[in-house]
Structure 1
């Protein structure tokens, strides 16, 4: 699993959802967690954190948000060589096949459908860690 020092960014327009995800991360031992209320706010935060030498190491973003949707934030991150390898999880109420395919094509690390519980999020994070650590060894 990801080290306890992993720096997370939670992006969601609903503060309640950000609090829920933050609580789950806290229960899993993660305390280095920051929040943004949409993709438009998150993208400059991601860039600034990287430029400051303290990049986010895992991004969890809602799909449906005003300003900039999570899928657009994902695409922006994956298009930038600085963030291409950063694990990125989308959280959404959308479980339609076309959305899942679009996210996969864009390079999403994993996908969580709302509502979810802490075990579901933990399981998805473990899968992302397995993929990510295997990719790091191959690089």
Structure 2
């Protein structure tokens, strides 16, 4: 049986490691290669072929959407499944990816089940999954779907109605649309800015207590959904402006530490250190200016 080859493209090594472990645990013997951005992936794709590409959206040198457009312009890559793995979950961004020829979409942060379901679905469409099932390496594809990251849910139930755009008209968007507003908690401790912590199994409203180029100290309220150390997550920083509007900056990372905010066993609040994993220069520049201002005012919105 020939190996299934997968190219993982993401500027964050932590995210690449998560995907590699997930794939190796579910597909023993799978061949994996990785690239830190779209430009390096482009160079690799000119030298060798892959059965599947898992790609982030916002990366230095060449973004995921630009890599996708380049791939679909190559005769040898037009039919290669490409799954976008990103925290850009707004309908406008997903539609743009569909127009550029995306095969499927997985939202960050993702669970192993979500990622594997999408990978099996993509391999099934190109006739590669059957060999894995016959060899006992993969289980048959089920009917499970995830409304929070499926193309169907984000495109009104029929993604095929979105017409692909021509390469000349499919220019990459640099700023995501504002994310849906989340409920505000009551009696939230004072902090530097409102934010939302998105975990694989749900979201928690929080506030930023301290911010650096390496991490953010955030406070969340204890609830049924409890964050776990080393869990992959996305921090949505809400940035208000004087006009009453707001935008959301999405930062990928993981939970480095969790502790009770108060020195008592029934502490209502948890203090979490969220460690950033993005290597994108635009996001680092954004954080630098945000720290320098000492506030959560809007002045730039990076992608994801």
TM-score range (shorter-chain normalised) is: 0.7 to 0.9
Which structure has the larger Rg over C-alpha atoms?
A: 2
**Of the candidates 81, 91, 94, which is equivalent to residue 85 of structure 2?**
91
Gaps of 5+ in 2: 128-304
Post-superposition offset of 1:123: 1.1
**Of the candidates 16, 20, 23, which is equivalent to residue 22 of structure 1?**
20
Report Cα offsets for 1:47-100 as digits up to 9, x if no partner.
111xxxxx1111101011111000110110011001111110111001000110
Question: Structure 2 length normalisation: TM-score?
Answer: 0.40
Greater relative CO (CA pairs within 8 A, separation 6+): 1
More strand by share: 2
* 1:48 match: secondary structure: coil
CA distance in 1, matches of 2:41, 2:122: 21
Report Cα offsets for 1:10-64 as digits up to 9, x if no partner.
0000011100000011011153000100001110101111xxxxx1111101011
Given that 2:5 and 2:50 are in contact with CA atoms closer than 8 Å, whether structure 1 keeps it comes out as yes
Partner of 1:33: 32
Partner of 2:69: 75
Within 5 A, what are the aligned runs for 1:46-61?
Answer: 46-49=45-48, 55-61=49-55
- Between the two proteins, the alignment pairs up a number of residues equal to 127
More helix by share: 1
* 2:121 match: secondary structure: helix
Within 5 A, what are the aligned runs for 1:123-138?
Answer: 123-133=117-127
RMSD over aligned Cα atoms: 1.6
Question: Structure 1 length normalisation: TM-score?
Answer: 0.86
- Alpha-carbon distance change, 113 to 4 in structure 1, aligned in 2, over 3 angstroms: farther
Post-superposition offset of 1:4: 7.2
In the alignment, structure 1 residue 10 sits paired with structure 2 residue 8? yes
In the alignment, structure 1 residue 66 sits paired with structure 2 residue 80? no
* 1:82 match: secondary structure: helix
Given that 1:4 and 1:29 are in contact with CA atoms closer than 8 Å, whether structure 2 keeps it comes out as no
- Which segments of structure 1 move beyond 3 Å, counting only runs of 4 or more? none
